[in-house]
């Protein structure tokens, strides 16, 4: 357990951020799965938006975001 006042505050902040990031990551995975299942333009733009938001908030790395978007775009092109 944290001892100092600032350490307790940091723990609270970390827990809040952890929940928020977990929610964002779960949503990201759900959208990607849906897009892979049926790669339409609508799903692609939605997944692109969610991926960019996750990268902006440092939930995923920007290069990973770019790679995911590229692979999803390639999927929609082939079908």
What's the CATH number where 20 sits? 1.20.58.110
CA 76 to CA 79: how far, in whole Å? 6
Please list, residue by residue across 38-54, b when 16 or more beta carbons sit within 10 angstroms of its beta carbon and e when fewer do. Answer: ebeeebbeebbebbeeb
The rounded Cα 3 to chain-centroid distance in angstroms is: 33
Looking at the chain, the whole-number percentage of residues with pLDDT higher than 70 is 99
| Domain limits for position 22 | 5-78
Structure tokens at 73: 């775009």
pLDDT of residue 53: 95
Looking at the chain, the whole-number percentage of residues with pLDDT higher than 90 is 89
The total number of structural domains that make up the chain: 1
Confidence of residue 5 (pLDDT cuts 50, 70, 90): very high
Q: Global pTM?
A: 0.84
Query: Is the confidence at residue 52, as pLDDT, over 90?
Result: yes
Which of the pair, 76 or 57, is modelled with greater confidence? 57
Q: For the chain, how many helices (H) and strands (E)?
A: 3, 0
């Amino acid at each position: 357990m944290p001892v100092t006042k600032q350490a307790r505050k940091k723990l609270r902040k970390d827990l809040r951020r952890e929940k928020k990031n977990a929610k964002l990551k779960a949503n990201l995975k759900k959208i990607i799965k849906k897009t892979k299942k049926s790669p339409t333009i609508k799903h692609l733009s939605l997944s692109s938006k969610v991926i960019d938001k996750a990268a902006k908030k440092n939930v995923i790395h920007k290069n990973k975001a770019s790679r995911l978007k590229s692979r999803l775009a390639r999927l929609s092109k082939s079908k």
